[in-house]
Chain A
């Protein structure tokens, strides 16, 4: 797969775009799921994100940047869902994801002890693969703050999970 996948997607080749997306779909869904806490919202966020990403593919200069770029869009779509009126939020009925392990609920619980901001930092770093400096820019925080919050949050989660 070369960088021309992006050129093809830009020219309107939906299959090319879908293939790019396929490499990241699990990570994207995982990010949205742990950020939003339920599967229906996570699915909505990923759908919104994919449509926006496709429309805006012209802004993407290199396939190397695809991951950081699409997670940025997803992060924003998740924020949009979180800002919806509360009565529209859905309870997690657990019907969409078939967990093979006990880890998902444990991770959800571990994330719930963190502040919203710490949770964002952990998800952006661990699931989306952002560097702390990039997170600092994205969340408009001091780089040193992000680093210290991250190491503390990870320690807290680990302690909780062990």
Chain B
């Protein structure tokens, strides 16, 4: 058999004779070690997984959350002045009072920045991004009959994405450029582009009527700003900028309700004078002034844990961002959930002992906080009359993604994963009233498992937890003071997205897993896409109806619900799916659009369109959308040319956006 490049090179390394010198002999090493390792937390019982999902999420949160501080342990909050009609929120009597407070809660991050340890435990190399907490998750909007809308969480509330459609065009954001394709079936082609600037990197965008609204982050004037830029796309061959708006801070998320855009950013105040600003200055236009948000529009949660402001703006798109309103609150955000009336922002918070452990531990390492008690702070903002901060409250544990929150009849339901006194993972569901006061809860279920997906349908919560099997829990929340687990069913693998199909059927999309055992150690491999249907007609006895497994495939929908295409007219679903295989000829890639419907609980595959275009080894299929009778596939290819110059190979290459299509079968 022909030796692969890998085998040949590996053999050379193995035989290179480069081995550890005597100075690195284990006996000498043992003599170099410090007296004791850092204190470990009590080990989890029956722990088999290599990396705990929530631990990884916690590490991620430490690196990203702007709220980490030790100073909160020592500082006394200023005298409370509760905002009229609000719970646990404070207003400021003057700008001085505000800056004084910011000074008190100055973030410890300053001390810790540039610590190389910041990044190493920030990622989780063992799992397939399933735990990634920052992504914007979303419930289906109706969409027009001719083309789809982004799969969103709450009816009537649009969510920004990397792809949007109109009746005639498909807009796809890749590499800081929005590519506009004509929706002409096999003849679909790029007809225009809208580009971000060097200073402004585009994150996602909306299309609303004849306006395109891009959201991005700009680094200018030594600050970080979240920018919305509005374009007139009535003639795609002559797209023009019609307005813009920016606010201090790093882009967290956004929503659009009708013609109103809501932007949420995290502004970290480096000094007490670095208060949040807003203005019409955007990096694609000549500079304009930025104004500080007046202290009368700035609030604080009861006990802020850092000098981070959550900045919220409403921007009127009808007037091309001429009419805006912004407010800020001393607090921070990781995940947002928004319906037509209220916006909820959650932020992770670690218990004081976690901060002190971190403080005491070697050079600010993060390992001591693995598994520490965490809380989620929830800030409620009413949108019915401008922007009004209503209340803030904390619940135990951490939220998986935006689908873990849902408001029904004025009550907020929140599902979290936390740890009990013995550091075992446990799961909880809380019901909170209009002012976020707790009405009832179910706590401590699914020990040693963590939440992977949640869906609320009216008075019922469906919760997927996971350790080695994937139980679906059905929780009745019709009595807010006494939510109760009604039933559960177990299945291998786990779903990361639950979609209601009809009153009795739930569709789950997620990961197929395989256990690998070697000696005493066991680990799971996520090695495929799994689609499952559940019969939930009897809440006390949910059943698995059908399962389809696509081994070795992966799909963007496994970690981003927006990658689900729902065609409401046809009543079917489409997901992008790919697999890669290493063969003697190199990498072989297969990408396809999987079109299926759920019929009487069975998963019926209508079509598996394998795209030639996205099947070369460097392609990456990201989304499927539909316009008219065609499914369109959006993704990228890597184009590279490399040549031998001055005895050195120089590679030049870039990813390029592309489109493919197939008619619905």
Contact = CB atoms under 8 A, between A and B. Distances in A.
Binding site secondary structure of chain A: helix
Interface in B22-46: 23-27, 29-30, 32-41, 43
Contact of B368 (A58, A107, A148): A58
B78 interface: no
Contact of B24 (A14, A25, A73, A114): A25
Interface in B87-134: 116-117, 120-121, 123-126, 128-129
A134 B50 CA distance: 14
A139 to B, nearest CB: 10
A65 B47 CA distance: 13
A63 B520 CA distance: 9
A127 to B, nearest CB: 6
Interface string A99-124: 11101101100000111001000100
B18 interface: yes
B9 A51 contact: no
B37 A147 contact: no
A97 B51 CA distance: 36
Contact of A148 (B21, B40, B587, B649): B587
A63 B20 contact: no
Interface stretch (B465-473, B601-609, B617-625): B617-625
Interface in B623-663: 638, 640, 642, 647-649, 651, 655
B405 to A, nearest CB: 27
A106 to B, nearest CB: 8
Contacts of B1: none
Interface in A36-88: 39, 43, 46-47, 50-51, 54-59, 61-65, 68, 72-73, 76, 79-80
B208 interface: no
A115 B21 contact: no
A33 B47 CA distance: 36
A72 to B, nearest CB: 6
B85 interface: no
Contact of A17 (B12, B30, B43, B123): B30
Contacts of B565: none
B20 A50 contact: no
B125 A51 contact: no
A59 B520 CA distance: 18
Contact of A34 (B18, B34, B125, B523): B18
A138 interface: yes
Contact of A115 (B40, B52, B367, B651): B651
Contacts of B52: 61
A65 B37 contact: no
Interface residues of A, number: 81
Interface string B46-72: 010111100000000000000000000
A62 B521 contact: yes
Contacts of A98: 17
A122 B129 CA distance: 22
Contacts of B370: 58-59
Contacts of B522: 64
A98 B49 CA distance: 41
B18 A97 contact: yes
B5 A158 contact: yes
B81 interface: no
Interface string A123-162: 0011100100110011010111101100110111110010
B125 A130 contact: yes
Contacts of A26: 18-20
Contact of A138 (B29, B33, B116, B125): B125
Contact of A22 (B10, B26, B123): B26
A7 to B, nearest CB: 8
Contacts of A63: 520-521
B578 to A, nearest CB: 9
B19 A14 contact: no
14 contacts: A2-B519, A50-B33, A55-B362, A58-B370, A63-B521, A68-B125, A72-B120, A72-B125, A126-B13, A137-B123, A145-B638, A152-B642, A154-B5, A154-B6
Leading 10 A-B pairs by shortest Cβ distance: A58-B40, A64-B521, A154-B5, A59-B367, A29-B20, A18-B26, A18-B30, A25-B20, A22-B26, A134-B125
Interface of B: 5-6, 8-10, 12-13, 15-21, 23-27, 29-30, 32-41, 43, 47, 49-52, 116-117, 120-121, 123-126, 128-129, 362, 365, 367-368, 370, 518-523, 580, 586-587, 589, 617-620, 638, 640, 642, 647-649, 651, 655
Given A46-B24, A96-B23, 16 more contacts: A10-B37, A18-B29, A25-B20, A34-B13, A51-B32, A54-B34, A61-B47, A64-B522, A73-B120, A76-B117, A113-B649, A114-B649, A137-B123, A138-B123, A144-B589, A148-B618
